[in-house]
Amino acid sequence: MPVRLLLRLRRVNTNNETLVKAIVNTGFISDDPEIALPIVVAERLGLWPRPSEAINASLDTGGGSVEVYVVPRSLIVNVITEDKISDSIIANALIDPYIDETLINDALTEELRIEILSPRSGLWRFSGEAIIRRSAQ
């Protein structure tokens, strides 16, 4: 089981908010915090159909090049656990019609202070904490 986090996503300057389970994907590399959303999640946040501020982008993936669009600095992201809500991080939204699960990149993972302890078992913790947590079910 990969590391999955329960996230609260809120679109900047709106009341659009949703909870999602997202896979931590350290192979999804960028200098900026980014979260890749399937269409169904983008719809709940008002990011589909394509908003006017969206930018076309081409991503190189393991399966080849994929055309997506990016809405820069459009989401406020928090990790939700049984006992804690993380600090809020602003992230770019990547809308990818070819994925079924929400993915967070290496930069967003680091800014959310997530440390992966055991990727196959889905164990992780917040940086500086002793509590070992399990992937969101």
What pLDDT, on a 0 to 100 scale, did the predictor assign at position 36? Answer: 99
What pLDDT, on a 0 to 100 scale, did the predictor assign at position 6? Answer: 99
Is 34 in contact with 109 (CB distance < 8 Å)? Answer: no
Please spell the DSSP secondary structure of the chain, one letter per residue. ---EEEEEEEETTSS-EEEEEEEE-TTS--SS-EEEE-HHHHHHTT--SPPTT-EEEEEEETTEEEEEEEEEEEEEEEEB-SS-BPPPEEEEEEE-TT-SSEEE-HHHHHHTTEEEEETTTTEEEETT----EEPP-
Please, what are the averages of pLDDT over each run of 10 residues along the chain (137 residues)? 96 98 97 98 98 94 90 99 98 97 99 98 98 97
Domains of the chain: 4-134 (2.40.70.10)
Residue linked to tokens 């089981």 = 1
